[in-house]
Structure 1
Amino acid sequence: MSRPAVRVVSPTEERNPATAGIDRLDTLGMLRLINAQDALVAASVAGALPALARAVDLAVTALRQNGRVHYAGAGSSGRLGVMDAAEIPPTYGYPPDRFVAHLAGGPAAMTAAVEEVEDDPALGRADLAGVTASDLVVGLAASGRTPYVSGAFESARAVGAPTVLITANPHATLAVDVLVCADTGPEAIAGSTRMKAGTAQKMLLHTFSTAVMVRMGRTFSNLMVDVRAKNAKLRGRMLATLAEATGAGDRECREALSAADGDLKVAITALLADADPPAARRALEAGDGVVRDALARLGRA
């Protein structure tokens, strides 16, 4: 007598009927089948955007009160957090200590599997021991139940820090303030969450941190305006951005950037508002570094 199939807690670990014959296909057929599954990810991310918007607002609040955003995760999820946090300072000129990534197993787990550590909630509590009430803790767990992340949330709750979970499991068991779930369903290979679930987490993380940086005034329109010129390539990029933002010619841009002591946002504000650099700088300081707010203060909204 056959027994009914037992449902796995997370749908990411269930068998996918659409790919049951994947090992019988030729190579191109196999790739097309995987690609067809990947094509479902964007729609699942779209469904998570209202919750992600709440997470972005929590992060902006934390950063504006001098808090930090902590990512906590294990395995593939945790590695994605490390990569996202590492890319924020060079992309947006943001201080490297404001987005902090905690990976179960530490740096060694970036390049080698240290799978047993994800089952240790005490390690998660210890890694997040320095969290404060001004911070935001973002847990990364495709399954929605990783003990390491659970421990990280315990440290957050102990000090009253808000919590966000980014997951692929709509039935996630971890208690959080905001649940961001991209329901990607069963993987092409059962349980291989570095595939659709991982792709969704990467999209959500990059969308999250990008939106946070836009809200923090690190862009003007869709231009990166907090670049710090550390080499010739970046100096050229700053001049190109200044020209793009203002329509000014090369010579005028060079003079404006020099007068602004190399501060791109001051140069943009000064040119667009026809103001001197000190006035532009004061307007930016009063407007939390947001170029559009500074322009409004100078009567050029």
Structure 2
Amino acid sequence: MPHDDDRLNDLLEVLSSLGTEASTTERGDLDLLGTDELVRRMNAGDQRVAEAVAERASEISTAVDGITARFRRGGRLIYIGAGTAGRIGVLDASECPPTFGTDPSMVVGLIAGGETAIRAAVENAEDDEDAAGASLRDLALTADDTVVGISASGRTPYVVGGLSFARSAGALTVAIASNAESEIGAVADIAIEVVTGPEFISGSTRLKSGTAQKLVVNMLTTLSMIKLGKTYHGVMVDLLATNEKLHARSVRTVVEITGCSVADAASALAEAGGSVKLAILMITTGADAEAAATALREADGILRVAIVALGSDSRD
């Protein structure tokens, strides 16, 4: 994409100020090192990522509570990003239905350049400041939704524009960036700025920045789903048995939670229409499928509450 001299100089100045674009003298000899030393150095740098995420625990907690509250109102979580950041949002969204039994519309991933960009670079897509807003408009964004913008640099126009549109629509906005005082952080209601420092290869933000982004989105969905009752005793109880492995996991989960036999677990799952949560409730309380389903609905899908309503939790 052509730039006039002033714009190019401005962009170069911005990039030089970003920690994710910085170089360090210790990496000047990487091409001369043996593989063992390369592994050691890269792994040593990666140790910083979890520490940097931990430093943003308060902001992440605030975001989880905000997302959970909106989920309870029927709202959605929508990720927006470009390149690696966009793919991470799409990945997290795509994993929620099989893991937590959610409708695919509950967590959505939007990437600059559309579906093609999931597997291949789409030139200049990230520079379109209006594209994300247009996609959010097509999704009929409401104030009950949460939009999470992901950008390592913190200045991607696609993400800046999308968060600005989302905020104007009254949605909760969250920014995940790898640089402090980011543009997307300034636009969003909650700024999660995980400063991971220079990349192992300068500017390759699929590395530490991408890892940090993955850790954060893992927490946003996993912890909000826990608060919604999608797990019980740290086990997935709303997973969908869409293949042989997941069916076996469903049986194993029922056995683990209730202590019943494999045969009883399989029988309960069949009677419960494959619902792990319902099968556990039936075995734990002795209720039939209809009574257990009613109790779950009245408990807003929270198994622990339904167990208390129908009987006692023998594991507590």
Task: Decide whether the 8 Å contact of 2:15 with 2:21 is kept in 1.
Answer: no
Deviations 1:61-108 (A, max 9, x none): 221111111100011111111111111111221111111111001111
Structure 1 segment 45-124 matched on structure 2, within 5 A: 45-124=53-132
- State the shift of 1:224 in Å: 1.4
CA deviations over 1:256-294 (Å, ceiling 9, x no partner): 333333322111112222333322222211111111111
Residue aligned with 1:60, SS = helix
Q: Which moved more, 1:184-193 or 1:234-243?
A: 234-243
Offset at 1:169?
0.9
Q: 1:127 aligns with which of 131, 135, 156?
A: 135
Contact 1:16–1:189 (8 Å) recurs in 2 = no
CA contact (8 A) 1:10 1:171 kept: no
In 1, the alpha carbon distance for the partners of 2:272 and 2:210 equals 42
Q: How much is the aligned-residue C-alpha RMSD, in angstroms?
A: 1.9
Could you tell me which amino acid in structure 2 is paired with residue 131 of structure 1? Answer: L
Deviation at 1:7, TM superposition (A): 8.1
Q: Give the partner amino acid of 1:100.
A: V
- The yes-or-no answer on 1:275 pairing with 2:315 is no
Alpha-carbon distance in structure 1 between the residues aligned to 2:161 and 2:61: 25
The gaps in structure 2 that reach 5 residues or longer are 1-12
Residues 3-25 of structure 1 show CA distances to partners (whole Å, capped at 9, x for unaligned) of xx998232111113442332332
CA contact (8 A) 1:56 1:212 kept: yes
1:255, 1:284 → 2: CA distance? 19
C-alpha distance in 2, partners of 1:50/1:252?
A: 44
Report if the CA contact (8 A) 1:16-1:188 is conserved.
no
Secondary structure at the counterpart of residue 175 of structure 2: strand
Work out the CA distance in 2 between the residues paired with 1:255 and 1:194: 46
Question: Counterpart of 2:8?
Answer: none
Corresponding residue for 1:238? 250
Q: What count of residue pairs does the alignment treat as equivalent?
A: 297
TM alignment of 1:25-40, pairs within 5 A: 25-40=33-48
Equivalent runs, 1:220-239 vs 2, <5 Å: 220-239=232-251
Q: Which has the larger displacement, 14-23 or 190-199?
A: 14-23
Provide, for residues 13-47 of structure 1, a one-character-per-residue CA deviation record: whole Å limited to 9, x for no partner. 11134423323322322222111111211111111
Which aligned pairs between 1:146-165 and structure 2 lie closer than 5 A? 146-165=156-175
**Does the 8 A contact of 2:81 with 2:112 survive in 1?**
yes
Residue in 1 aligned with 2:149? 139
For 2:197 and 2:244, how far apart are their aligned partners in 1? 46
Identity of aligned residues (%): 42
Map of 1:258 onto structure 2: 270
Distance 1:70 1:143 in 2: 20
Greater shift in the superposed pair: 72-81 or 111-120: 111-120
The unaligned stretches of length 5 or more in structure 1 are none
Match of 1:196 among 208, 229, 232: 208
Q: Is the 8 Å Cα contact of residues 240 and 246 (structure 2) preserved in structure 1? A: yes
* Shift, 1:192, TM fit: 1.0
Residue 255 of structure 1 deviates from its aligned partner by: 3.2
Q: Measure, in 1, the Cα distance between the counterparts of 2:191 and 2:200.
A: 24
> TM-score, normalised to structure 2's length?
0.88
Structure 1 counterpart of 2:217: 205
The AA in structure 2 aligned to 1:138 is: V
Scaled by the length of structure 1, the TM-score of the pair is 0.92
Q: Contact conserved, 1:73 with 1:140, CA < 8 A, in 2?
A: yes
Report the alpha carbon displacement of residue 200 of structure 1 after superposing the two structures with TM.
0.7
Q: Which residue of 1 aligns with 2:180?
A: 170
Distance, in Å, in 1 between the alignment partners of 2:294 and 2:50 is 42
